[in-house]
Amino acid sequence: MTRKSYAKQLEELRENVIDMGVTVHERLNQALEAMVQVDEEWADEIGKGDDQIDDKYVEIERQCSDLLALQQPVASDLRLITASFKIITDIERIGDKVVNLTDYTKLVRDKRILDEEDILELGKFASSMLEDSLSCYDFQDEDRAKEIVERDDEMDQLCEESTNNILGHLIEKESETMNKEDATRLAQQVSTELLTIRDLERVADHATNIAARTIYLVTSTRELI
């Protein structure tokens, strides 16, 4: 295989990773909108699209394996291939969290404990981290990637505040006399919203991983991965 053809395959790998990431990012934003609108039908449709993400993951995984097996990548190319493989793993796991969010939407039966604005704030923060981390990988932007890693602490703080709000509401409700049905519904709502917070936090964690792997790709520094 000529060097030109090899370089083209590396470029196609990068483009495929970005394409997969953009698809998952779009699905994340759609899932958030469906959640706020409590649109079960839309949520169900979004959830069914996860097979497309899994197929793309397998395709890129095979592409990485072929490049490693059939070529002799120099150090920088090897970092691109290995970082890309790790990044699609993070993207695929974000896709799984999107499916979780659509499932939680279908569980909503009562007024939410958290305001829609609070849920959207968490979701948009995580979504922006994913979007920016993909851009950093695309342009191999080390400085912006470092900023994303630092933003993860802010996301953790937002999630902690939201969790405390839900638990505070639960403590207030404990003093009320509730029948079994109402208590069960409250428990389900609390569980669903806590899981929502957890999964949005995980989305941000995976976005941080993408940024950290980009730093490794550019600098060969393993400190953050």
pLDDT at 127: 98
Mean pLDDT of 2-8: 78
Q: How many helices (H) and strands (E) does the chain have?
A: 7, 0
Mean pLDDT of 107-117: 84
Q: What is the mean pLDDT of the chain?
A: 93
* Residue 176 pLDDT > 80: no
pLDDT band at 190 (very low <50, low <70, confident <90, very high): very high
Q: Which residue has the tokens 């509730």?
A: 178
pLDDT at 72: 83
Q: How far apart are CA 133 and CA 102, in angstroms?
A: 23
pLDDT at 89: 98
Which tens digits make up the pLDDT trace of 34-76? 999 999 999 999 999 999 999 999 999 999 999 998 888 899 9
Instruction: Report whether 149 contacts 212 (CB < 8 A).
Output: yes
Please give the residue that has the higher pLDDT: either 198 or 186.
198
* Residue 212 pLDDT > 70: yes
pLDDT at 180: 85
Query: Would residue 26 be called left, alpha or beta, if left means φ above 0 and alpha means ψ between -120 and 50 degrees?
Result: alpha
Nearest to 11 by CA among 75, 122, 19: 19
* CA distances to 132, 149, 198 from 100, in Å: 22, 24, 11
3-state secondary structure string across 69-107: HHCCCCHHHHHHHHHHHHHHHHHHHHHHHHHHHHHHHCC
Mean pLDDT of 193-198: 97
Instruction: Report whether 126 contacts 206 (CB < 8 A).
Output: no
* CA distances to 4, 159, 166 from 207, in Å: 32, 16, 25
Please give the residue that has the higher pLDDT: either 175 or 157.
157
CATH of the domain spanning 3-219, picked from 3.40.50.720, 1.10.10.10, 2.40.50.140, 1.20.58.220: 1.20.58.220
Of all residues in the chain, the percent with pLDDT exceeding 90 is: 78
Structure tokens at 188: 């389900």
pLDDT at 173: 79
pLDDT at 175: 67
Q: How far apart are CA 209 and CA 197, in angstroms?
A: 19
* Residue 148 pLDDT > 70: yes
Nearest to 29 by CA among 102, 86, 138: 102
CA 91, chain centre distance (Å): 6
Q: Around Cβ 39, how many Cβ atoms within 10 Å?
A: 17
pLDDT at 2: 61
